[in-house]
Amino acid sequence: MQTPAAGETPAPTTADETGGEEDIETPLVNVQRRPYEKSAHLHPWKAWMVGRPLRTVDAPHQTIGKAVGLAVFASDALSSTAYATQEILVVLAAAGTLAFGYSFPIALAIVTLLIIVTISYRQTIHAYPNGGGAYIVARDNLGEIPAQTAGAALLMDYILTVSVSVSAGVAQIASAYPELYEYRVYIAVIMVALVMWLNLRGVKESGTIFAIPTYFFLLTMILTVGIGLFRAATDSLGMVIDPPHLEILPLQGLSLFLILHAFANGTTALTGVEAISNGITAFKEPRSHNAGVTLVWMSAILGTLFLGITFLAGHIGAVPSEFETVISQLARTILGGRNVLYLAVVGGTTVILIMAANTAFADFPRLGALQAADSFLPRQLAYKGSRLVYSRGIVWLAIIACLLIIFFKASVSSLIPIYAIGVFLSFTLSQFGMAVRWRKIGRLGPDEEVKETGSVLRHDPLWRNKMLVNGFGAICTGIVMLVFAVTKFAEGAWFILVLIPTLVIIFFRIHRHYKDLAKALSVENYLPEMSRHTKDIVIVPVATVHKGTLAAMRYARRLSENVTAVHVGLNEIEDTKLVEKWKIWGEGLPLVILDSPYRQLYTPLLTYLQELEAKKSPNELITVVIPEFITRRWWERLLHWQTADLMRKLFITFPDVIVVEVPYQVEPVEPGLGLTSLD
């Protein structure tokens, strides 16, 4: 085969030259790419709300480092120290105050579990540098059903993270200012809206804003715990003064079930640990290294604060209460009352709890986009907004979280039972999936490489050790999940156990729809119909004669010579006026009046369309040209029937009918000229 000279257009390749049976000419296609030079414009209010639009090429510049990453992805886990101890005490209170002594051993067991989970997820981060949350790990190693189960569990976890953390933050406000207790639901909804707004402005900008309160919380909490431990060591730390009333209903003996129940409540401290592995792509290069370091930082701080708070709470005799949190009792006891330092601690805790919702706002849209890209969620969730964030996912997360806050009246104790079970289900699936991944790697030769959807498999001589780490992690989190499901079943865990399978079924129904649609629209093995020039039938629904009607008629005459205007007659007097105007402005086109004695507007049109379909030839099409006048102001549109939209929705259900809307922009009327009637 002859190679064309430089600058020449290659000749069409024939089938004979490639081993075919006959010559097939390949048509030349003229494809042009025209760059868009103008900057994007937003409405002034939107530009003020979310900031100027960002170009797609700006995405690498929106990544974050370890310091900001700790604020963005660790705020959920760190903030759980503000309520995890209290949730342990709430359960132990059923056996009396003497049972509070078991809170610290329970906290030690939870921190041990935290270390196991951290080591497991650190391996996941390095194995999946493009994001290795439970959804991706399960999809690549366990199959679609476990993947969608993990996706459903994580989505519910992120929604509940927002509801729980914001409700806990508002509880801190109510502890400092009891008169605000009855307004806690309103305050919580406002706070969710605030976090949503900040996230709509972009990951980098919101992360920078959230870094300040996150580090302020860490500073005040480390200072408080440090002073408390020093005073405890020097026997200068007394008991809490005027603790809130302890309600014990009903009183029961200390049992293994009660301890496991308290342990399950305390494991809420681990929620958010997986967030960093889900958001690896938000970190600067080297992504895996930065994300792994941030994970270790987060776990070390979380474990230290959790143990310190639990130990000091038992030392001062803190009491779990909806009216004053354990953190509030701890701060005023250690710092000497409700002074400036106390307000700083409560304020920092409040802000970090509210900002903890940011972790969910960072990961929920990403997970939704992944599932949407795989056709298990509406595909609109996979598109980024003007600020390079998944805006639709952010808004939907805020709406659902607010509904939960309103339904549960911003009560942390009411939300906790349905919270952590989804977290540990995703933990278990992720770690089990990683164990399977290491087993697959163990079967590869030294130079073998297998590319999967989310990562690349390469031989690793340490695969057995890593498989044991992830396998042990899966067993531990699986046991915790079962404990949580059993101990919390009657309190609300049953709802999540029913909801997650329901969501999985919905995901697969969505997936089937997209598969069926793709098959129906595919051009593979499709033979297009031969083009035939025919006089297509064009009808124009006419309500009255005005400039918009005439514009639609002019457009219709360009499509075909077979144009008919159709009017539904509701009133004889109005019909007579229309006929008189049509004689002047109709330009000789036929007008069909469909009598409607029962004042039905759309049924006569549908019947007329069905009659046309029955009479037309097989290769003819019917085009409905709908005139629509467009008002200048949005509120003016509310003053008119949306007839054009309704007719379009009705007519597009017909297989051989094409619907075209012809808009007519209403020009402003000059003063003194009067208004032209649309009648």
Q: What is the pLDDT of residue 670?
A: 54
**CA separation for the pair 630, 648 (Å, rounded):** 16
> pLDDT tens digits, residue range 532-576?
555 688 999 988 888 888 889 999 988 888 899 999 888 888 888
| Max avg pLDDT among 46-55, 81-90, 664-673 | 81-90
> pLDDT tens digits, residue range 362-387?
788 888 888 988 889 998 888 776 56
- Banded pLDDT at 177 (limits 50, 70, 90): confident
Q: What is the pLDDT of residue 32?
A: 52
Average model confidence (pLDDT) across the chain: 80
**CA separation for the pair 568, 602 (Å, rounded):** 8
Q: What is the pLDDT of residue 679?
A: 39
**CA separation for the pair 290, 640 (Å, rounded):** 57
Please give the share of the chain, as a percent, with pLDDT higher than 70: 83
- Banded pLDDT at 530 (limits 50, 70, 90): low
Q: What is the pLDDT of residue 359?
A: 77
Q: What is the pLDDT of residue 619?
A: 76
Asked if residue 82 lies in contact with residue 325, where contact means CB atoms within 8 angstroms, the answer is: yes
- In degrees and rounded to multiples of 5, residue 470 shows phi and psi of -70, -35
Q: What is the pLDDT of residue 416?
A: 73
> pLDDT tens digits, residue range 309-365?
999 998 898 888 877 888 889 999 999 888 899 889 888 888 887 777 877 887 888
List the structure tokens of 136: 């991706």
**C-alpha dist (Å) from residue 43 to 47, 52, 384:** 6, 10, 18
622-630/537-541 β-pairing: parallel
**CA separation for the pair 281, 69 (Å, rounded):** 11
- pLDDT score of 148 more than 90: yes
Q: 0.85 cut: is pTM over it? A: no
Q: What is the pLDDT of residue 617?
A: 80
Average pLDDT over residues 215-241: 91
- pLDDT score of 17 more than 50: no
- Banded pLDDT at 225 (limits 50, 70, 90): very high
- pLDDT score of 389 more than 80: no
Contacts of 648 (CB under 8 A, 6+ apart): 626, 659, 661
- Banded pLDDT at 86 (limits 50, 70, 90): confident
| Domains, the chain, ordered by start | 54-434+480-513 (1.20.1740.10), 537-665 (3.40.50.620)
What's the half-sphere exposure (Cβ side, CA atoms, 13 Å) at 431? 26
